[in-house]
Amino acid sequence: MSTRVAVDAVGGDRAPDVVVDGAIAASRHDDVEIILVGPRSTIESSMARHSEDFQGITIVDAPDVIGMTESPSVALRQKQRSSLHVGATLLGTGKVDAFASAGNTGAVMAIAYHVLGRIDGVLRPSVTGLFPSPTGNVVVLDVGTNVDCKPEHLLQFALMGSTYATRILGVERPAVGLLNVGEEPGKGNALAREAYALLADSDEINFVGNVEGRDILAHAADVVVCDGFVGNVILKLGESVGSAIPIMIGAEVKRLALGEKEQGVVADVLSGVKHRFDYEQHGGAPLLGVKGNVVLGHGGSSAVAIENMILAAARLARQDVQGAIANAFAPRQNA
């Protein structure tokens, strides 16, 4: 049975064309059914650029468009027939299994909270990032949803991140680290010190202590938790690696006057490393903690990034990450 994914057709800097192109590519996977949500005439016009038969893709009309810079609160109140409202409603009513958007991040989160609601017991839903390491990927949360946090929020991020790492990355009992300015207990600000005590006392997670920024790419933990202010800074730094490293290496190749064969070897190595840092390959960031499977894409997404975002949303639904998080929080409700 195919996994049904509603896709915001007008979300992103280059929508609708790159969204339509990415959706068509994703629809070629037999296990995915795609519902493009947005102004019907706009979607049909974009699809008319292609001559193929679009089996596996349907359109649901949503005439209102939320711009990339619009206020989330205004979008929530005034554009009830937007692609975000309609897409989230399709998910909330069980007509689709997941919803994906590369649109206005604040609006996506605000509308998802409003339409879907939070999983019982979850205080703050969290956007999650993936960072490459020599031995796999490291889950980092929060990466921008909650810039001001309390210790209990970080404990909940650890529980949600652990569930995600187990379901999506296949890591049994993931190691959880607290991002801090030093490894020793007692380091950091008040938030870090109080969060450390909560994490250390929890039987729900496999806490391994403080980790520093340099430890993320070294895979000192499978899941790293921090507040969204710090997490977003790390996320943007990580995104810059993929573009900065090639420039630096190119300058060195020129300085060393390497021959054509040596340049080819360097280019092959660089391509492999760059691929690991390329956000387009990760398929967007899941919004954990809401009652539904929601994935947020980068506003500048290409068609490749949109395709991977859709496939990531389908995988989130097939692995029932939302249900697993709800089960993980159920004992906390009964305590």
* Residue 275 reports pLDDT greater than 80: no
**At 284, is the pLDDT very low, low, confident or very high (cuts 50, 70, 90)?**
confident
> CB–CB of 311/32 below 8 Å?
yes
Of residues 1 and 42, the one with the higher pLDDT is: 42
Query: Residue 322 pLDDT > 80, yes or no?
Result: yes
Residue 300: predicted pLDDT: 86
Buried-exposed string 206-239: b where 16+ CB fall within 10 A, e elsewhere: bbbbbbeeebbbebbbbbbbbbbebbbebbeebe
φ, ψ dihedrals at 203, nearest 5° = -90, -5
> pLDDT digits over 84-103, tens only?
999 999 999 999 999 999 99
Alpha helices (H) along 2-150:
17-27, 40-47, 72-78, 83-92, 105-116
Give mean pLDDT, residues 255-282. Answer: 74
pLDDT tens per residue across span 5-23:
999 999 999 999 999 999 9
Q: Is 319 exposed, middle or buried (0-12, 13-18, 19+ CB in 10 A)?
A: middle
Residue % of the chain over a pLDDT of 70: 95
Domains (ranges, CATH) in the chain? 1-119+289-320 (3.40.718.10), 123-282 (3.40.718.10)
Query: So what's the pLDDT on residue 116?
Result: 96
CB 147 within 8 A of CB 233: no
- Average pLDDT of 166-184? 96
Please report the pLDDT score of residue 29 as a whole number: 85
pLDDT-derived band of residue 326, with 50, 70 and 90 as boundaries?
very high
Q: Is the pLDDT of residue 335 over 60?
A: no
Give the residue-averaged pLDDT of 222-240. 92
Average pLDDT over residues 167-187: 95
What mean pLDDT comes out for the span 152-159?
97
Phi first, then psi: give them for residue 217, nearest 5 degrees: -70, -15
Whether 189 has a pLDDT exceeding 60, the answer reads: yes
Over 70: is that where the pLDDT of 274 sits?
Answer: no
Please, what is the average pLDDT of the chain? 91
Mean pLDDT of the region 232-237 = 90
Let me know: does 90 contact 96? Beta carbons within 8 Å: yes
The closest of 255, 280, 275 to 267, measured between CA atoms, is 275
Q: Is 332's pLDDT higher than 70?
A: no
So what's the pLDDT on residue 281?
Answer: 66
pLDDT at 42 over 90: yes
Q: Average pLDDT of 112-123? A: 95
| Average pLDDT estimate for 138-160 | 95
pLDDT greater than 60 at residue 173? yes
Mean pLDDT (whole number) for 116-124: 95
Q: pLDDT value at position 333?
A: 64
% of the chain beyond a pLDDT of 90: 70
Of the pLDDT bands very low, low, confident and very high (cuts 50, 70, 90), residue 46 is: very high
pLDDT, residue 277, reads 63
